[in-house]
Structures are given as structure tokens and as C-alpha cells.
Structure 1
Amino acid sequence: MALANKLVLLTGATGFIGFRTLIEALKAGYRVRAAVRNQGGIDRVKAAQSTQPYLRQLEFVLVPEIEKEDAYYEAVKGVDLVIHLSSPTTKFETLPSEDEYDEVLIQPAVRGTLNLIQAVSKFSPTTKRIVITSSIVAIIDWPEMYLETGTVFDEQSRTPSISKLPSDLFAAYGAGKVAALNATEEYVRTQKPHFDINHIAPSFTIGKNELARTRAETLPPTNLAALAPIIGQAYGPTPSTSVLVDDIAKIHVLALDPKVPGGQLFLGIGEGSNTRWEDSIAIVQKHFPDAVASGTFPLTGKNPTKRLIFDNKYTEKTLGIKFASFEEQVKSAAGRYLELEN
């Protein structure tokens, strides 16, 4: 089947990574059925500048509650491929208490993913591959993120299921990613579905958020790691792993290709796992001197770097990608920040 005739179901289309992945899939020639939670999400995606050349390739389906067992029953019908990016985040109007982490972060991550996979198993015999967004926090023990042990992680690294409920919100998010990855790989081993699954594990993802409407909206979930030192905020410490959002989007789409082996996990990490967050100050001094002079970038914030080592040569070789530098990441994120108002 010609690429242009293949239909991709893409969930999480209004998210930071999700929207960029949507555009990359459309640019690659796929037809895309974008799953969004509400009409407002459809309107934002359709109105975005990057979407305009591809509206004829794009359709939408409403999936308001990804945790419902039948959430994707209709959405998956007739699709050839799936990119699943939708997942619980750490953004809450009211922060949950520690005893609520399992209910609001960990179990939803598992249910949302398994609901999608089981829906494809039941209702989409045409689907050959699913690509699922995971995270580097899914393949390493949480304490290893900050202990600077010198351990080298790669695409084969895994973390056992979390037995103790985390006491930190971001750790609970990580536990959800661990549980979802382990549950997915177990499903494939035991159920042997008619499709295969590739996982994408981004590190701290940095870059332009086209759907952001204010400067504040450009910061979460991970852009603040790079922008904190330049906008006068305290952040971190943060592991030395970052990636341009465009690159993460590209590897989601590349992982759909039948020439790429299935059953793989690919790591999204630039700079050879050597990002230094403090370098964002020198980068904006070089590329945005007027914003520095005006005080828009006061350069008074901080984000200490913790060395975390990954070897993602397999990802680079298999997908044929060269990840952009931290300089390019900061230029992208800071440039978008300057385009918007407070």
C-alpha cells in the first residue's frame, strides 16, 4: 500500500509532542485520524499554521475519556497504523495527595494504553504496528535519575514494576510510565497480537510549542528545564538528557516504517547525554541579545545539571537520525517564547 493511502490513528494530538508528531506524520504523506478530547482541541489543531497545507489528509475523532474500556473502539476501526501519545500528565488544578498518586497517575497510564491496544486487537485487523510514547523514566530506577552513579543505560534497560508508592509527583508520573511499558510488553508476550509495538522514550523534550498561546503555556511540561536559567526561575536539579521536540516527532514517524524492526524501544536523547542546562544562558546571549538587553531574558535563574548517561547509538543507527544540539533546542524554545505575550 502506498504511503499516502495509509491511515494513522494519532492520539494526544493537542499535546506538545503530539502536535509536532501530527505534523511530521502529515508531512511524511500519511493520512491521519487525530483523536482529541473535545471540540476545542479540534479547533486549535485545524487553526494552527503548520496544519494548513495538510487539512485534506486530516480527520478527527473525539475520545473524551481515554480510561474508559471502550474509549477507542470506534477510533481504531480501519486504521493501518497507530501512534499513541495520550497519557496522564502532572498538570492538575488541585495537586493530588500522595495516597491519590496511584489513582490519578499510575493506573490511568496503564489503563489508557491497554485500552488502546485491546481496542486494536478487537476492532482493527488492518493495523500492523503501534508506536507508543514512553519515557526515559520508564527504563531506569527513579533514584538513578539523580545519583550520578555512572551507570550507562541503553534501549534494553528496564525497570521492574514499582512496588512502593512514590512520595513525589514526578516520581509517580515515572511510575506510571514504568507500569505502562511493562504492561504493554507483557501483553505482547502473552497475547501475541496481530500487530507489533515500538516504544519511543523521550528525555526532557525542548522546543517550539506551536499550540501555546501565552509565554506561560510554552513552559510545561519540560521546556522550563531549558528556559528557567534565562527567565529568572529556579528549577532542578535536572538530569543531563534533552532532545529537540522535532526530533522526537520524527522518530515516532520513522518507527512506523515496516523496514524498521518491531518490538523495539528507541531513545530520544541529544548531545550524547551531555546536556548542560546552564549553557542556555550563553546560547540566548548569542542568539537573542536584544531580549537579554531588554530584560526579557534576565539570565538570573538556575537549573543545576546531574550527569545521567545513555547510549542511544542503536536508535541513531536503526532510524538513521542525528539528534539536534542543545543549542538548537534552546533556540527553538526561546524563539517561541519571544513570539508570545505574557
Structure 2
Amino acid sequence: MTATILITGASGLIGFRILIDAVTAGHNVHFTARSEAKAALVSSNPAIKKLGLKEGQLTAFVIPDLTVEAAFDAPLKGATHIIHAGSPVPVPTFDPTTQIYEPTIKISYSLLQSALKFPEIKRIGLTSSIVANTGLVPGPQTASAATRIAPPSPIPRSFNSAIEGYVTAKIIEMYNTDELRKTQKPHFSISYVVPGYTFGRNELILNTAMMSTENSSNNFLVMGITGIELPFPIHGVAAHIDDVSATHLRVLFDEVCVGKDYGVATKVDYSMIFDIVSKAFPKAVEAGVFKKGACLRFKPSTIRARQTSYSVGLRALRVRLWMWLRSILRSWARSWHKGMH
């Protein structure tokens, strides 16, 4: 079945991989971008160009402000499915309230309210984060995509950090969506995909400089081999970008998965990351090109990866993720080393 999917966040790591997989599968894609430059970043990317897409298979909609009422009406015309992967990420320099918390809540609300107007919409997949199920400080219990954390009462008007605003937004966004499911009984199914920190190849990265500054959660690994400290510890669970993308498409098109929430994560010991690079490039480590970053602090977390029961199996997921980490760290280190000379 050929569908027309509206994808938000296509200029980000997860959204772009979903877009690539969707058009490769033969679907048509509408994607939103906040500027012409962002739209061009996607549509003119070499990974898109080499696919030789049919005319009309990929359509950009430039919408500077996605929080306003009816912002999604235009890109939803003709769409049958939605994947919302476009929420703000916790960039430390962002204002926690106006650039992270408020847009997260408002964009999700605007999208769902617009979707209610279009009877052609069948299924929606929403990208969340494990922090919505574990909170800022994970407890000892094993969380899953079905775990819910009560929103703070009262809801804060300001936040002390980007990560605090991000976590609060994810918790409240999930709560609001659950309430919409119950009270408005939409004509479409809604599924949450809840990944751990997501790592993997990122075709949006076109040079070495972008590798360490515009590489989404991959930035954490780059920091970990170049001596840069992350301002907050990250949760000790990770996901492979291919599994995250595949799960989004499964909740739209696999009848077994429709309307269900899925976690995509496995435990990772980030303290082992630098060992891979130091063994592969000992001379570069001696020269100071690579050095261990304090960003490798992590919070012990356990989340049940429900989707792996029909995917590759949890043990296979761990092996594949670890093999990928080894290969990609060596690749990045090699590129980084060349860029330094």
C-alpha cells in the first residue's frame, strides 16, 4: 500500500532516517521545515538525490511557526499518515521555557488538532524519549513505553536547565496525548515510539565540522572521544537509528503494532567508548587528537524494549548496536583525524 506520510523533524537525525526509509519503501512524503534553507538541506541532500525519486514523491512545506493554530492544515491535505519527530532537543544554549518546553507542547497540540479535521488520516506515530517514562532521575524500576509519570503540579513556569525543560515537556506531552485519546476518541490510531539516546549514520552530516556540532545525539559520542564535557549525564540506554526508524514505520503499517506504544533501547556502558578509539588510534591519543571526555557520565536506566520481540531480539540488538558503535567510532575518528591535518 502506498501512503502519503507527513513527517516533521525531517532535518534531524531521526526524522531524516524515517524520511529516507519511507520514500525508499515507495511512499509519498510531505515534510515540514521552518525555513527554505532547512527544506533545501533535506531535498538536496546527496542521500535523497541518489534515490531518483518520482516527481511529487517528496514535497516540502515551509512553515516558520509550527505552534500556531492550523499550522499543519496545508501539509496534511492529501496525507494519510503522520510521523511527528520534530520536537525541540535539549540544546544547553536554548532557553528551557521558550525554545524547548513551550514549543514541544504547542506543536504536538497543533498537529493533533489539525489531524482531527482530516478524516483521511489513519495512523499517527509520535516520537518521544525515554525521559518521558523514566523522568529526570531514573528510579530502580524497569520502565517501558507504557510507564507514565504524573505531570508536576503546579506546572513550572520556568526551568533551571535545558534538560529539565525537555524532560518536563516530554512527560506533559505524553499525558496530554493520552487525554486526547480518552476524551476526543480520534478517528486515527496514535502510537508513541520511545527511543533511548539514538546513534547511527547521519547523512545530514556533510563535513568534519558538522560531525561535532550538528550531529544530534551522535554529538555525545564525538564529545566522548575529543575531551569535551557534556553539561549533564545521559541515560545509560541507547538505540540504533535503523531500529528507531523501522519502529516508526511499523506502528503505521504493521497491523500487529498499530495503536501500541513501543520502547526502543538497550543498556550501554558509555565508559567503554573511548577504549575503542584508543585501541584503533593509539598514536592519535598520544598526540592529544583524541582524549577521553567527561561527558561519558551516565544515569543507570532500565527500559523494556517491547518492539524487539518481533524485530531482531534484544540480544541481537545489543550485539548490533555494539558492533555499530565500534565501526562508527573508528570511522568518525579516522575522519576527525584527517580533518585535523
Q: 1:76: which partner in 2?
A: 76
Residues 188-218 of structure 1: CA distance to partner in whole angstroms, max 9, x if unpaired?
Answer: 1111111011111111112222212444533
Worse-superposed segment, 253-262 or 295-304? 295-304
1:187 is matched with 180
Contact 1:215 1:337 in 2 (8 A): no
Q: Does 1:17 align with 2:11?
A: no
The answer to whether 1:206 aligns with 2:196 is: no
Amino acid aligned to 2:217: T
Question: Counterparts of 1:21-60 in structure 2 under 5 Å?
Answer: 21-52=18-49, 53-56=51-54, 57-60=57-60
1:315 aligns with 2:307: yes
Distance of 2:333 and 2:48 partners within structure 1? 20
Post-superposition offset of 1:18? 1.0
1:296-338: CA deviations, max 9, x gaps?
Answer: 42346551233211221x2212456653323413533662565
1:335 aligned to 331, 334, 341, which one?
331
Matched, 1:252 2:248: yes
Are 2:228 and 2:294, in contact at CA under 8 Å, matched by a contact in 1?
Answer: yes
Contact 2:239/2:264 (8 A) holds in 1: yes
Equivalence map 1:110-189=2 (5 Å): 110-122=105-117, 124-144=118-138, 149-163=139-153, 164-165=155-156, 166-189=159-182
Q: Map 1:277-292 onto structure 2 (within 5 A).
A: 277-287=270-280, 292=285
Residues 325 and 186 of structure 1, relative CA distance in 2, 3 Å threshold? same
Q: Tell which deviates more after alignment, 34-43 or 224-233.
A: 224-233
Does the C-alpha gap of structure 1 residues 320 and 172 become closer, same or farther in structure 2, counting only changes over 3 Å?
Answer: same
Listed one character per residue, the Cα deviations across residues 127-173 of structure 1 (whole Å, up to 9, x for unaligned) are: 110101111111123222xxxx4311112211111235342220111
Which residue does the alignment assign to 2:269?
A: 276
CA distances 1:28-74 after superposition (whole Å, capped 9, x unpaired): 22111122122112222122222121432322222221101111011
Counterpart code for 1:151: Q
Change (3 A) 1:296 1:208: farther
Q: Residues 250 and 257 of structure 2 are in contact (CA less than 8 Å); yes or no, is this contact kept in structure 1?
A: no
Return closer, same or farther for 1:305/1:251 CA change in 2, 3 Å cut-off: same
Once the two structures are superposed, what CA deviation does each residue of 1:70-89 show, in whole Å capped at 9, x if it has no partner?
11011101111111111123
Runs of 5+ unmatched residues, structure 1: none
Q: 1:257 to 1:279 in 2, by over 3 A?
A: same
- CA 1:260–1:290: 2 relative to 1, 3 Å: farther
The amino acid that maps onto 2:102 is: Q
Aligned partners of 1:205 and 1:245 also within 8 Å: yes
1:98-109 mapped onto 2 (5 Å cutoff): 101-109=96-104
The Cα of 1:291 is off from its aligned counterpart by 5.4
Contact 1:285 1:292 in 2 (8 A): yes
Q: Structure 1 302/134 Cα, relative in aligned 2: closer, same or farther at 3 Å? A: closer
Decide whether aligned partners of structure 1 residues 168 and 78 sit closer, same or farther in structure 2, where only a CA change above 3 A counts: same
Partner of 1:221: 216
Segment of structure 1 superposing worse, 13-22 or 254-263: 254-263
| Structure 1 pair 34–174 and aligned structure 2 pair: CA distance change class (3 A) | same
Distance 1:258 1:243, change over 3 A: closer
Q: Is 1:325 the counterpart of 2:321 in the alignment?
A: yes
- Residues of 1 paired with 2:66 and 2:333: CA distance? 31
User: Conserved in 2, the CA contact under 8 Å of 1:34 and 1:59?
Assistant: yes
Alignment size in residue pairs? 325
Aligned-partner Cα distance in 2 for 1:197–1:256: 9
Contact 1:9 1:34 in 2 (8 A): yes
Gap change, CA 1:246 and 1:59, over 3 Å in 2? same
101-110 or 26-35, larger mean C-alpha shift? 101-110
Using the TM superposition, give the Cα deviation of residue 288 of structure 1 relative to its aligned residue in structure 2, in angstroms.
Answer: 5.4
The secondary structure found in structure 2 opposite 1:55 is coil
Amino acid aligned to 1:176: A
Q: Which amino acid aligns with 1:168?
A: S
Distance change in 2, residues 1:190/1:107 (3 Å): same
Q: 1:261 to 1:243 in 2, by over 3 A?
A: closer
**CA gap 1:151/1:336 in 2 versus in 1, 3 angstroms:** same
Say which SS state the counterpart of residue 75 (structure 2) adopts. coil
TM-score by length of 2: 0.86
Asked if the contact 2:276–2:329 (Cα under 8 Å) also holds between the matched residues in 1, the reply is: no
Distance 1:203 1:54, change over 3 A: farther
Q: Which runs of 5+ in 2 are unaligned?
A: none
Distance in 2, matches of 1:318 and 1:132, equals 20
Let me know the Cα RMSD of the aligned residues. 2.5
